[in-house]
A and B are shown apart, each in its own frame.
Chain A
Amino acid sequence: AQSVTQPDIHITVSEGASLELRCNYSYGATPYLFWYVQSPGQGLQLLLKYFSGDTLVQGIKGFEAEFKRSQSSFNLRKPSVHWSDAAEYFCAVGALTGGGNKLTFGTGTQLKVEL
């Protein structure tokens, strides 16, 4: 079965500093990987996704992520964080199971931005 690990529960960065959120996945086949962001009390918004090809993918709001098969990782990065980036971030792996498409999420990383 597929699984996702986000080892950092909380991260605090200063505005303007760089950011890296870690994600490790477990899946036996080609992984379909996603990063979502959630503001308090809201639904999830897709930041970026990886299916195949170039291992560095660009997303919205200046985010990027790098897929490393050898490390089973899909870390999210941003060169310069803005105060509005404070939110919770979820990594997810998509799988095709006997019951159809299934999306499994990590436990999330809460990002706090200090001004």
Chain B
Amino acid sequence: EAGVAQSPRYKIIEKRQSVAFWCNPISGHATLYWYQQILGQGPKLLIQFQNNGVVDDSQLPKDRFSAERLKGVDSTLKIQPAKLEDSAVYLCASSSIRDRAYEQYFGPGTRLTVT
């Protein structure tokens, strides 16, 4: 099966600019996660969708970050305006509620550099 797709792979922006990331999960996976991974740290969950509904966004800085999954398939994560501390890799992952329901499959990530 095809894996989780993300784009772009790299992005460099100046602080106060806006940026958007896109994720297409594995076909049929109902759960989609966005993680922020700062260099040298573990992934931190930003937001989690079950189909097109948000089930956890407790760690999403809502004053500048937003995410949507309108049709319950692909998703976009937006940062507006970006800060220097947003420099990180943004990982998208998906999982299925069938079979190995707990296993997350990660995309290649988008490396964001804010200057």
- Chain B binds chain A: no
Residues of A within 8 A of B (CB): none
